[in-house]
């Protein structure tokens, strides 16, 4: 069970510590701002699209696929932005390093950080006491959807590796992700 009080406390402590707003180099500020605006705009478009869907007329398998796609969208969009922002705040304020496998060097910019794998950033955040990101962000589910490595039954049950995800499981995951995004939005807006 997700401890929202603990997560909110951790994020507020991070905010109070002065790491948010990001202390970004001037030349990178524009990139961060553009990504933030783009991400929020895409999220709003997705929300409108989801509101327009006639869910009651959709077969369970299609609903399951749409929910998986939405989970991927939340993780790779708005959540990824916040993960990048917090990781970058740790990199710049505490002089921590994160390894960029593809370039075989340490990350030196926000743009490079955005190219680092999600799993690497989640490990980095785990090592800095932000374990809740790994708990809420379903990397196995994200990878399976992104790489089309899942099976959906007619009743909407999703099989990823050796795990079954029901309609309720997907809805719970969407709820957790949106709760975290709402909390992050509040913290970053302050």
Write the pLDDT tens digit of every residue in 9-53. Answer: 888 777 666 655 555 666 677 777 777 788 888 888 888 888 888
> What average pLDDT does range 174-181 have in this prediction?
91
- Give the lowest-confidence range in 2-16, 70-84, 160-174: 2-16
Overall average pLDDT of the 88-106 stretch: 74
Phi, psi of 182 (to 5 degrees): -60, -45
Helix, coil or strand: residue 158: strand
Give CA torsion, residues 57, 60, 61, 63, to 10 deg: 70
54-80 tens-digit pLDDT? 888 899 999 999 999 999 999 988 899
Residue 143 is predicted with a pLDDT of 92
Please give the residue range of the domain that contains residue 119.
4-16+25-189
% of the chain with per-residue pLDDT over 70? 87
Structure tokens, 116: 């680092």
Is the whole model's pTM more than 0.95, yes or no?
no
pLDDT at residue number 72: 92
More confident residue, 106 or 75: 75
Q: Residue 152: which pLDDT band, with cuts at 50, 70 and 90?
A: very high
What is the predicted pLDDT for the residue at 18?
62
Whether 188 has a pLDDT exceeding 60, the answer reads yes
How many structural domains comprise the chain? 1
Helices (H), ranges, the chain: 4-14, 26-52, 60-74, 80-94, 110-115, 118-126, 131-136, 139-146, 167-189
Mean of the per-residue pLDDT values of the chain:
85
CB 152 within 8 A of CB 61: yes
pLDDT at 127 over 70: yes
């Amino acid at each position: 069970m997700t401890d929202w009080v603990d997560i909110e406390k951790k994020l507020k402590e991070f905010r109070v510590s002065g790491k948010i707003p990001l202390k970004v180099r001037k030349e990178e500020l524009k990139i961060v701002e553009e990504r933030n605006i783009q991400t929020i705009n895409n999220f709003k478009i997705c929300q409108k699209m989801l509101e327009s869907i006639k869910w009651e007329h959709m077969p369970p398998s299609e609903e399951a696929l749409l929910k998986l796609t939405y989970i991927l969208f939340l993780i790779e969009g708005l959540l990824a932005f916040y993960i990048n922002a917090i990781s970058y705040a740790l990199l710049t304020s505490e002089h921590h390093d994160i390894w960029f496998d593809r370039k075989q060097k340490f990350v030196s910019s926000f743009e490079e950080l955005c190219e680092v794998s999600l799993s690497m950033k989640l490990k980095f955040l785990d090592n800095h006491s932000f374990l809740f990101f790994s708990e809420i962000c379903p990397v196995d589910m994200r990878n399976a959807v992104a790489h089309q490595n899942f099976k959906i039954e007619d009743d909407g049950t999703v099989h990823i590796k050796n795990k079954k995800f029901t309609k309720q499981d997907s809805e719970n995951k969407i709820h957790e992700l949106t709760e975290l995004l709402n909390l992050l939005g509040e913290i970053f807006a302050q």
